[in-house]
Amino acid sequence: MVDALVRVSDTILKNYESVSNATVLGELSRRGYTKVFMNGVRSLAPGRRLVGRAVTLRYLPSRPDLQEYVTRGGYGEGFNETPRWDALEALVPGDVLVADCMGMGGTSTGGDVVFSRILSKQAAGLVTDGGVRDGHKVIRYGFPVYAGGSTPTIGEPNVLPYEVNEPIQCGGVLVWPGDVILGDEDGVVVLPSNLAQEIYAECVRHDEVEQAILEHTQRKGISPKFFYPFNSETEKIYAAWKARLE
């Protein structure tokens, strides 16, 4: 098992609930992180914000002669249960199950009975680039669900759960165990855990500056184009906006 670089605190997770994914994406891009937005992964329950630490689960393509070996940890008696249950049992409040299903959005990574464990573990939610069986039932549990799709089929004819809390890909993005997973209406952004605290203040400031621009331009009836990229006039507007709040 690979240890997370940093275990992000619950306080930091809470802070990111009010930061936009677009802002985080921008701050990461400025640091050279350009592949942190998941492709083909969307919310099955629009309106639910997701913020949590990644507990990872990797699937492999199915092969009949290896099914028991892969899913039970070896041949014979006395081996571990399927890694999918291991991943679910590893969850604690603030964690997100992130499942790498190789972008197979029509293939189930689990259904309502399996993912009810996310609810009972009081975890933050579910992300997968695979499908969710009976997704309409899973979203009734109330936690955020981001997936490649919803499907009535079972997954094991096509994929096998293999390992837990190792680096994976999901939606074409590298996810390290413990990374911060951010989901909103636009999709899912992966925030490296070692950067979460470092960029938070800059993210907040960026959102505040944009709010100041919005309020100023709406009040004056002028175009925002004069304030992008941020410049000296932008800073004046922001300073005045901050002063009004104090």
User: Is residue 3 in a domain?
Assistant: no
For 148-180, how does the pLDDT look when each residue is reduced to its tens digit (9 = 90+)?
999 998 887 889 999 999 999 999 999 999 999
The boundaries of the domain holding residue 220 are 199-245
Give 39's strand partners.
none
**Alpha-carbon gap, residue 172 to 102, rounded angstroms:** 9
For 222-232, how does the pLDDT look when each residue is reduced to its tens digit (9 = 90+)?
999 999 999 99
User: Is residue 143 in a domain?
Assistant: yes
Does the pLDDT of residue 108 top 60, yes or no?
yes
The domain tally of the chain equals 2
- Integer distance in angstroms from the first to the last C-alpha of the chain? 48
**Alpha-carbon gap, residue 173 to 192, rounded angstroms:** 11
Asked if 164 and 216 sit in the same domain, the reply is no
User: Is residue 162 in a domain?
Assistant: yes
Instruction: Residue 20: give its domain's CATH number.
Output: 3.50.30.40
Asked if 99 and 184 sit in the same domain, the reply is yes
Cα Rg for the chain, rounded, in angstroms?
21
Asked if 36 and 74 sit in the same domain, the reply is yes
Asked if 36 and 102 sit in the same domain, the reply is yes
Please give the model's pTM, rounded to 2 decimal places. 0.92
Does the pLDDT of residue 4 top 80, yes or no?
no
- How much is the pLDDT for 79? 47
User: Is residue 234 in a domain?
Assistant: yes
Phi, psi of 170 (to 5 degrees): -150, 120
- 8 A C-beta contact, residue 80 and residue 134: no
User: Is residue 1 in a domain?
Assistant: no
Asked if 28 and 102 sit in the same domain, the reply is yes
User: Is residue 5 in a domain?
Assistant: no
DSSP secondary structure code for residue 37 in this structure: B
For 41-82, how does the pLDDT look when each residue is reduced to its tens digit (9 = 90+)?
999 999 999 999 999 999 999 998 888 777 765 554 544 578
Asked if 219 and 183 sit in the same domain, the reply is no
Does the pLDDT of residue 138 top 50, yes or no?
yes
Residue closest to 135 by CA, chosen among 143, 83, 14, 224:
143
Asked if 62 and 173 sit in the same domain, the reply is yes
Asked if 92 and 180 sit in the same domain, the reply is yes
Asked if 136 and 184 sit in the same domain, the reply is yes
For 39-51, how does the pLDDT look when each residue is reduced to its tens digit (9 = 90+)?
999 999 999 999 9
Asked if 160 and 226 sit in the same domain, the reply is no
Residue closest to 132 by CA, chosen among 30, 23, 14, 41:
41
| Ramachandran sector of residue 3 (left: φ over 0; alpha: ψ -120 to 50; beta: rest) | beta
User: Is residue 205 in a domain?
Assistant: yes
Asked if 15 and 52 sit in the same domain, the reply is yes
User: Is residue 58 in a domain?
Assistant: yes
Asked if 188 and 203 sit in the same domain, the reply is no
